[in-house]
Amino acid sequence: MYSCIIPEILTVETRLNSIAGFYLSENFEFYEKTEHKSKFHYNIECSNFEVPEDYDFRSGYFTKNNGTWYYERNLFPLSLKFKFFKDKFAFNWAYSKVPVEIGHIFPVGRHIADIISTHLFLKNFLVIRGCAYEYKDKITCISAPGFNGKTTLMHDILKKGGRHIAEDKVIVDMVNGEIYPTAPDFRNFEREENTKIKKVYIKNWLTEPRKIDEMLLVQNSTSENQGSEKCLLDYVFLNSLVFLKSPLIRAYISEEKLTHQVVAKINQIETCNIKYRYKNIRNFDYGKILGDKLG
């Protein structure tokens, strides 16, 4: 049985229930397990292994030897180790205990999620910060900067009987104009709105991809200055392509000669099959643009 991370496109074979920093899902047990491998399938394990001293390519702490990529960082008395080859990932116990980015050391789940996000992007699947839901028989996807009210909106939608598709990370098929569900993120309990969502979130979610009726590019303003209109590509650079921030991914793209493919996919974003519009709102008033009074 395999863990379903993103229904119908991403499964993993692993004994782990979660991995620190794996932003595509905080909980590998959220969706029901499956006997079938999805289009994107990976093996993930926590194990001991040696990192070879010789390498064919090196960039910082990342090396490549005979097709396998390695990372090793010695922090006395611990040694953090990670490796991957094609669709197989492994890391040692010490590295599994790094919870968040510390001093430019990414948690191991961040490396894995960035590699998978790169693979998804090259096959026309975009991972973008936002939220998505079904409400009044309409599938809506919203992308907005951080702290622009997306979590509050999702809470209100769920209270009114809407159905959850994604919150925080949204997976979009740029060719078919579809959105894929992702597990909700309940980890950030320092924010009151995340706690509210968990209270109203009683298994009212979608588990299959749906055609997007509309994507909204939202910018909230509390001042009179509403700024200039933005396009989808603007929001992609603001809220997506996070894998390009990774030194591992930059090295990987360069060494594997994927640069032209990545650039070509970025250039295709503005012609993708997604209907979208930009909307500036005042004081978090999502109800006005959604044709309903929320809150």
The domain spans of the chain are: 3-122, 125-231+274-290
Among 241, 3, 22, which Cα is nearest to 111's? 22
pLDDT at position 203: 61
DSSP string covering 182-241, please? -------TTSHHHHHHHHH-SS-B--S-EE-SEEEEEEEESSS-------HHHHHHHHB-
Say whether pLDDT at 31 is over 50: yes
Among 234, 229, 224, which Cα is nearest to 145's? 234
Say whether pLDDT at 159 is over 90: no
Q: What is the pTM of this model?
A: 0.92
Structure tokens at 142: 């919203």
SS (H, E, C) 25-70: CCCCCCCCCECCCCCEEEEEEECCCCCCCCCCEEECCEEEECCEEE
pLDDT at position 156: 85
Coil, strand or helix: which one is 158?
helix
Domain 125-231+274-290 is classified in which CATH homologous superfamily? P-loop containing nucleotide triphosphate hydrolases (3.40.50.300)
pLDDT at position 193: 57
**Range from 8-17, 141-150, 275-284 that averages highest in pLDDT:** 8-17
**Range from 8-12, 99-103, 180-184, 266-270 that averages highest in pLDDT:** 8-12
The pLDDT tens digits for 58-74 are 999 999 999 999 999 99
pLDDT at position 294: 54
CB count, 10 Å around CB of 46? Answer: 16
pLDDT at position 77: 87
Q: What is the mean pLDDT of residues 264-286?
A: 91
**Contacts of 228 by beta carbon, 8 Å cutoff, 6+ apart:** none
Q: What is the mean pLDDT of residues 34-57?
A: 97
Cβ atoms of residues 194 and 267 within 8 Å: no
Structure letter (DSSP) for residue 16: -
pLDDT at position 189: 43
Give the Cα separation of 197 and 149 in Å (integer). Answer: 13
Cβ atoms of residues 140 and 276 within 8 Å: no
Say whether pLDDT at 275 is over 90: no
pLDDT at position 28: 95
**Over the chain, what is the mean pLDDT?**
90
pLDDT at position 61: 96
Q: What is the mean pLDDT of residues 218-239?
A: 90
Among 128, 93, 125, which Cα is nearest to 20's? 93
